[in-house]
Amino acid sequence: MSPPAVDQGPRYAKGFCGGNDFVLLIDPDDDVRLTGNAVRGLCDRYRGLGGDGVLRLVRTEFADPALAGDAEWFMDCRNPDGTVAPMCGPGLGLIARYLLDAGLIAPGEVWIGTSVGAKRTVIDDRGTTSIELLPPEFLGSSSVRLGGREYPGSVISLGNLHLVCFVTTPVEALDLSAEPVLAGPGFGDADLDITWVNVLADGRLRTRVYEPGTGEMRSCGTAVCAAAAARQRAEGAWGTTVVDTDAGPLSVTLRGHGKTVFTGAASVAALGTLDATWITSLDKEPS
């Protein structure tokens, strides 16, 4: 046998769910100290492994003992800029897929701990995941300025905060290379993700999403749900909405009793071991 060809660091998987890709660190015993530099390096699409975020999968007994009775596994989710993401629907879907493929759960429901509580995900034997998000909570109105125009919208919380702006000109025409600037009220210290939405002739929605610190996102599970929730609030109809994103169509179901269900296909592309020297070198880079 030859040596393993890496200086063995954390185990990881690269995978996808609902239009996003992630680096999943498999850290059951809570051994990995994940710095902002390491997260930024891992998510870098040229100098790292590339991803819309890093998910650290930890046993809940170590991550949040108070939740351990509700969920065996916990998702410690980080944004590409290194900050903590309180919630990420597609992240939960990918974790469910990993647990299923690893034989750690059976098809059906799984509860996964997050910093906003234990969340229920249902996965079938083909990897389609339905993720229950928090009920959307309407916090008020605000607006954002972009390219000399001001866009009014609704601020909606799904654990993280979204400003949803309906527009009638096609969202494809927006220039998101410049940074949108919040022009109306903020809501606490948290940054607002901004989502511009068109209602299409066939009833689908078309979105583009900007995340402060990251820039434009091809897709974002909670943003898609916030867009559907804002439309439901304006028009009153419950049910399933298809939302076209830069990463393809996604599906959101809203019901009167408050549940939000985000549906996406999850897959694991690769599984392996990070080189410990390499991940340590990321930590030495300027932040």
Give me the active site residues, please.
88, 220
Residue from the set 81, 101, 244, 283 that interacts with its own copies by CB under 8 A: 101
Cross-strand pairs, 117: 114
125 binds its own copies (CB under 8 A): no
The Cα–Cα gap between 73 and 120 comes to 12
Of 81 and 246, the one with the shorter C-beta distance to its own copies is 246
Binding mask 164-203 toward its own copies (x if CB under 8 A, else -) reads ----------------------------------------
Amino acid sitting at position 47? R
Residue 92, SS3? helix
Smallest separation, CB 73 to its own copies (Å) = 13
Of 240 and 280, the one with the shorter C-beta distance to its own copies is 280
Smallest separation, CB 43 to its own copies (Å) = 11
Smallest separation, CB 45 to its own copies (Å) = 5
The Cα–Cα gap between 247 and 20 comes to 8
CA 12 vs. chain centroid, Å, equals 18
Q: Is the dihedral of CA 134, 221, 70, 51 positive or negative?
A: negative
283 binds its own copies (CB under 8 A): no
> 3: which residues sit within 8 A by CB, 6+ positions away?
none
Residue from the set 17, 18, 21, 25 that interacts with its own copies by CB under 8 A: 21
Query: What phi and psi, each to the nearest 5 degrees, are found at residue 225?
Result: -70, -40
Site for its own copies in 35-74 (CB under 8 A): 45-50
Smallest separation, CB 187 to its own copies (Å) = 30
- Count residues binding its own copies (CB under 8 A): 37
The Cα–Cα gap between 128 and 263 comes to 7
Query: What phi and psi, each to the nearest 5 degrees, are found at residue 89?
Result: -60, -55
Smallest separation, CB 102 to its own copies (Å) = 4
Of 103 and 256, the one with the shorter C-beta distance to its own copies is 103
Of 251 and 267, the one with the shorter C-beta distance to its own copies is 267
The Cα–Cα gap between 121 and 115 comes to 16
Query: What phi and psi, each to the nearest 5 degrees, are found at residue 88?
Result: -160, 105
Reference 94, options 270, 267, 272; nearest CA is 267
The Cα–Cα gap between 203 and 198 comes to 10
Q: Which stretch binds its own copies (CB under 8 A): 58-66, 81-89, 139-147, 274-282?
A: 274-282
Residue from the set 22, 73, 98, 166 that interacts with its own copies by CB under 8 A: 98
Site for its own copies in 214-243 (CB under 8 A): 218
Residue 252, SS3? strand
Q: Is the dihedral of CA 26, 47, 209, 271 positive or negative?
A: negative
Q: Look up residue 168 and give its two tokens.
A: 């009638």
287 binds its own copies (CB under 8 A): no
Of 167 and 176, the one with the shorter C-beta distance to its own copies is 176
13 binds its own copies (CB under 8 A): yes
Residues in contact with its own copies by CB under 8 A are 2-7, 12-14, 16, 21, 45-50, 98, 101-104, 218, 247, 267-275, 277-279, 281
